[in-house]
Structure 1
C-alpha cells in the first residue's frame, strides 16, 4: 500500500466506522443477554437503586424490565447499522446511545457498594463499578458518532 492510498484509507473516517460497528456489536450482544434469567437477576440491584430506572421493575417485572432493555439495545444497534447509510437515522441512534451510556454511568453513584469499603472506598472499585466504568469510553464513542452524523447531515444539506 503506497503512502497516498494509506493516507486516503486512514482519513476516510476509519475511526468512525470502527466505533459504529463496535457499538453495534456491543448493543447486539448485551441486548441478547437480556433475554436470560441470569441477566435479569443481575440487573436487580442496578435498577432497584436507580432514580432513573427503578420504575421498570414495578412496570414490567424483573424479566420484563430486562426484556425492555434488550429491545431498546437491539433497536439502537439496528439504528446504528442502518445509520451507516442514512445520517438522520444515525443521528437518532447515536443520541439514544449517548443517553444509554449517560444513564448507565449514573448507576456507579446509585448502586450500593460501588466503592470497596475494605480498601478505603473511592477510588477502589467494588461490585459493578469496574464493569460500568467502561461506559465512559462508550459514551465518548457515541458522542463521536453523533457529531459525525450532524456534520454529515450539514455537509449533505449544503451541497443539495
Structure 2
C-alpha cells in the first residue's frame, strides 16, 4: 500500500483534511495575517514616551540603525520606526490582493529583521557570564531572538510573493 493511501485511512489525517486545516495556501495566509497584526501592534507602541526609552539599548547598539538618534532624536527615531512598521504592515495587508505591494511589504519586513538581528552580537550584557557566556542569553537578547524567526517568515513571504507574481 502506498504512503498516501495509508495516510487517508488514518482517522486523524482524515479529520484534518475535513477541517480545512490542510487547505492549499492556508499557511501562507495565516503567516501573512500574523505579520500584519505584529506590525500593527509593534508600530502602535512607538508613539508613546515609555517606548522612546525602551528602544535606547536597541537603537544605540544597532550597527544598521544607530544613525536614527543623531538624525531624529529619541522620539523621532521611535516615530520613524512606528511609521515604517505601519507602512510594512499595510503593504503586507495589501499583498493579500496585490502581489507587487506584498513584495514591497515583505522586502521592508526582511530589512526590518535584518536590522534587528544584527543588534544581537552588539547588545551589552547579552550573554550571562555567570552561566558561561554564549549561548546563555540574558537582558535584551532573548527578546531579539524572536526576530530570527520573523526574518525567516519575512523571507518566506517575499519568496512566495515573487514566485506567485512570476506564475501569474
Give the TM-score normalised by the residue count of structure 2. Answer: 0.86
Tell me how far 1:9 sits from its aligned partner.
6.1
- CA distance in 1: counterparts of 2:152 and 2:75, whole angstroms: 30
1:81 equivalent to 2:125? Answer: no
Segments of structure 2 that go 5 or more residues without pairing to the other structure are 1-13
- CA distance in 2: counterparts of 1:71 and 1:38, whole angstroms: 17
Alignment of structure 1 residues 4-153 onto 2, 5 Å: 6=18, 10-153=22-165
Which of the two has higher C-alpha Rg? 2
Segments of structure 1 that go 5 or more residues without pairing to the other structure are none
Tell me how far 1:102 sits from its aligned partner.
1.1
Say what the alpha-carbon RMSD is for the aligned residues. 1.8
Change (3 A) 1:147 1:7: farther
Relative contact order: is structure 1 or structure 2 higher (C-alpha 8 Å, sep ≥ 6)? 1
- The number of equivalent residue pairs is 155
Question: What do the CA deviations read for 1:43-86 (whole angstroms, capped 9, x no partner)?
Answer: 11111122211111111110110000000000000000011100
SS at 1:10 equivalent: coil
- Is contact 2:106–2:158 with CA below 8 Å preserved after alignment? yes
- Is contact 2:62–2:115 with CA below 8 Å preserved after alignment? no
